[in-house]
Amino acid sequence: MIGLNLRLNKKINYNIGSRLQGYIMQNLNSDYVEFLHTQNYHPYTQYIERVDDNISIWHLNLLDENAINNIVDIFKEGNDILLDNEEEFKIIGITKKEISKSELLKELSEIKPRKYVEICFITPTAFKTNEEYYYFPSIKLIFNSIINRYNLFSNEFTFEGVELIDDIVENFIISDYNIKTKRFYLENVKIKGFIGRITIKLGGPSQLVNIGNMLLKYAEYTGIGIKTSMGMGGMQIKQSVKRIN
């Protein structure tokens, strides 16, 4: 996996996500574009984070080797990004972080797992369940989303069976939240989602707490919920969190 943080020279709203995806597709090899159209999930996620009035960061996460080989070289510091509506931005800096799933597991195994994890949802987040959109945070929907993506892109091992998600739902709770509803504009469609912060309390056996920490860390790359390749579901873990009972 590779995470690219591209600093852009303008303040940009997160609703530009679908056009940024269009920019990626326009600059890919046609064979790879055809391959992507056959997949249920795109092997990349992206979202916009506004830093100040003049700078935005475009977070682009590449989840497998094929995506890395085809996408990473599109972006060069100093290059212009021209969108289909003629908006133009300049890349003024690129930060790249590469990590394998085995390295992520090793990294998490060497630190004390946190029993309280605060998640910051940067762009509107929503889920689809029973053919309907759901726009409130839910332990089951959050971890189902992450596990599904982990299993899809893992070359080493996967989380199988329903027992894990049942254990997570039984032992993890949302202990605090400060969220609000926002709409994400996708062409002629408005999708309702939520942004803000939630704190998850991870209980149960230590192995389950370890897995919960790992999955939430992995979600910083994959995003959470629907339309993550178009800019929804962007999230970050707060480095420290006040304990809430």
The tokens 């090793």 sit on which residue? 106
Backbone angles phi, psi at 156, to 5 degrees: -110, -60
| CATH number of the domain bearing residue 128 | 3.30.70.1900
Residue 92 tokens, joined: 């003024």
Domain annotation covers residue 187: yes
Please state, in angstroms and rounded to a whole number, the distance separating the CA atoms of residues 66 and 150: 16
Does residue 117 lie in a domain region? yes
Determine if residue 62 is left, alpha or beta; phi over 0 gives left, psi from -120 to 50 gives alpha, anything else beta.
beta
Taking Cα atoms as reference points, which of 175, 172, 116 lies closest to residue 139? 172
The pLDDT of residue 52 is 80
Tell me, yes or no, whether 28 and 45 share the same domain.
Answer: yes
Same domain assignment for residues 123 and 231: yes
pLDDT in tens, 92-143: 999 999 888 778 777 766 767 899 999 999 999 999 988 889 999 999 999 9
Question: Is residue 242 in a domain?
Answer: no
- 56: in domain: yes
Q: How far apart are the first and last CA of the chain?
A: 35
Where a domain ends, among 71, 98, 125?
A: 98
Report the distance separating Cα 171 and Cα 128, nearest Å. 23
pLDDT per position as a tens digit, 12-26:
889 999 899 999 999
Is 215 domain-assigned?
A: yes
Tell me, rounded to whole angstroms, the distance of Cα 26 from its chain centroid.
Answer: 22
Backbone conformation region of residue 127, classed left if phi is above 0, alpha if psi is from -120 to 50, else beta: beta
Residues 112 and 22 in one domain: no
Residue 221 amino acid letter:
Y
pTM: 0.90
* Residues 67 and 187 grouped into a single domain: no
Q: How far apart are CA 232 and CA 123, in angstroms?
A: 5
- pLDDT at residue 243, as a whole number: 52
50 and 110 housed in the same domain: no
Total domain count for the chain?
2
Q: Which of 75, 98, 121 corresponds to the end of one domain?
A: 98
Mean pLDDT, the chain, integer: 89
Q: Is residue 129 situated within a structural domain?
A: yes
- Last-in-domain residue among 64, 98, 132: 98
Question: Quick one: 69 and 150 in the same domain?
Answer: no
Question: What residues make up the domain containing 204?
Answer: 101-237
pLDDT of residue 244: 45
Q: What is the pLDDT of residues 193-241, one digit of tens each?
A: 999 999 999 999 998 998 999 899 889 999 999 999 999 999 999 975 5
The pLDDT of residue 161 is 66
Backbone angles phi, psi at 79, to 5 degrees: -75, 155
CATH number of the domain bearing residue 33:
3.30.70
Contacts of 78 (CB under 8 A, 6+ apart): 90, 91, 92
Q: Are residues 156 and 218 in the same domain?
A: yes
Residue 243 inside a domain? The answer is no
